[in-house]
Structure 1
Amino acid sequence: MNQFTTIASLLFAAAIAAETVIWLAFLHRLKVRHPQQWLHAEQPIIWRDRTVLSARSTMLYLHHREYLDSLDGDGIRYCGRYRTLMLAAYWFTAITGIAALTTLALYGW
């Protein structure tokens, strides 16, 4: 495997892992500590069976600051506090994914 492709692929894998951990921790704390905000975010009540959690829907909720429309003051502060970290992790994953595909296209496997 090409050196550049290897580095880009490893960065992408690390970004996916970091984003997943940050996102799931955020959702877990949101559900446990701020259930009213959880419902406002329209997150599924049950995380099993055929329920699909979507990082994209969570990021759009934070990006568009839809959490400000909630009546849960503590939940609003929680979302505001973690908004930057969540969006940074999401976009870092997207950028490293594009970089991995670009290096694969330019330098090959």
Structure 2
Amino acid sequence: MNQLTAVAGILFAAAIVVETVVWLAFLHRLKARHPQLWLHAEQPLIWQDRTVLSARSTMLYLHHREYVDSLDRDGIRYCDRYRTVMLAAYWFTAITGFAALMTLARYGW
């Protein structure tokens, strides 16, 4: 295996792990501490319309600051506090995924 491809793949895998941990911790705390905001975010419990929890829907909710429309002031502060970390983890995963694909295309397996 090409070293550059291996490094890009490892970075992408690490980014996925970090994003998943950050995202699940955020959602767990949101549901436990701010159940009204959890409902406002319309997070499915498990399966809803053939969709499990979606990192993308959570990130869009935070990106567009839809949580500001809720009436939960503490929840709004919570989302504001973790918004940057959540979006950074999400975009880091997207960027490393793209880099891994480009490295694979350029240098091969």
**TM-score normalised by structure 2 residue count:** 0.95
Moved over 2 A (4+): 46-51
Which residue of structure 1 aligns with residue 18 of structure 2?
Answer: 18
Q: 1:90 offset after TM fit, Å?
A: 0.1
Q: What code does the residue aligned with 1:69 have?
A: D
Q: Counterparts in 2 of 1:1-109, with a 5 A limit?
A: 1-44=1-44, 46-47=45-46, 52-109=52-109
Structure 1: runs of 5+ lacking an equivalent: none
Report the CA distance between 1:67 and its aligned residue: 0.5
Q: Which amino acid aligns with 2:7?
A: I
Aligned AA (1:3): Q
- Which runs of 5 or more residues in structure 2 are unaligned? none
Q: Deviations over 1:5-57 (max 9, x none)?
A: 0000000000000000000000000000000000000011x236965100000
TM-score (norm 1): 0.95
Please state whether the residue corresponding to 2:96 is helix, strand or coil: helix
What RMSD in Å do the two structures reach over aligned CA positions? 1.2
Counterpart secondary structure, 2:52: coil
